[in-house]
């Protein structure tokens, strides 16, 4: 009863309205609590910035939403396969401007051999999202927004 207004609180209070199963809610709200709700706000802000700057891409997303969902209903996770433009726009937005440069900590659940290095079980691994997203071997034009 003392939580300030936030996206996490909103999504928790509207679970049934948005038809979120407990597992889906856990990914959304749980990830926000682990990372802080500022992370979610940053992700939304990044996508809004991309939509503002790259109006052609945003137009394709809106057209797809209108064609698939119409103007009277909101998409759910069950609609994701029918909304590839929405998905690639979100993914490209977060590649183009990652919420966190270093990524989030993960723990190895078993010993892993990678490039002749041992990552022992229990080790904390943090991927460098910025370096991966800007590697021209992985993304030939890393500074171009290309959903």
- Cα–Cα distance for residue pair 140/135, rounded to 1 Å: 8
Task: Give me the pLDDT at residue 11, please.
Answer: 74
* pTM of the shown model: 0.64
Q: Are 37 and 6 in contact (CB under 8 A)?
A: yes
Task: Dihedral sign for Cα 50, 52, 58, 62, please.
Answer: positive
Q: Are 93 and 67 in contact (CB under 8 A)?
A: no
- Cα–Cα distance for residue pair 54/91, rounded to 1 Å: 14
106's CB contacts (< 8 A; 6+ apart) are 124, 125, 126, 127
Give the 3-state secondary structure percentages of the chain, helix then strand then coil, rounded to 5: 50, 10, 40
Residue by residue, pLDDT tens for the chain (147 residues) are 676 777 667 777 878 887 777 766 665 655 544 444 455 567 887 888 888 888 899 999 999 999 999 988 888 889 999 999 999 999 999 898 887 767 778 899 999 999 999 999 999 988 888 888 999 999 999 989 999
Backbone angles phi, psi at 35, to 5 degrees: -95, -15
């Amino acid at each position: 009863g003392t939580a300030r207004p936030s996206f996490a609180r909103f999504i928790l209070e509207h679970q049934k309205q948005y038809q979120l199963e407990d597992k889906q809610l856990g990914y959304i709200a749980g990830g926000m609590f682990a990372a802080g709700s500022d992370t979610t706000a940053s992700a939304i802000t990044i996508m809004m910035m991309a939509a503002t700057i790259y109006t052609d891409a945003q137009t394709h997303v809106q057209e797809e939403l209108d064609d698939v969902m119409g103007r009277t209903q909101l998409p759910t996770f069950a609609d994701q396969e029918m909304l590839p433009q929405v998905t690639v726009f979100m993914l490209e937005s977060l590649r183009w401007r990652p919420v966190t440069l270093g990524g989030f900590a993960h723990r190895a659940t078993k010993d892993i051999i990678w490039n002749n290095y041992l990552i022992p079980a229990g080790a904390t691994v943090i991927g460098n999202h910025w370096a991966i997203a800007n590697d021209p071997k992985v993304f030939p034009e890393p500074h171009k927004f290309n959903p």
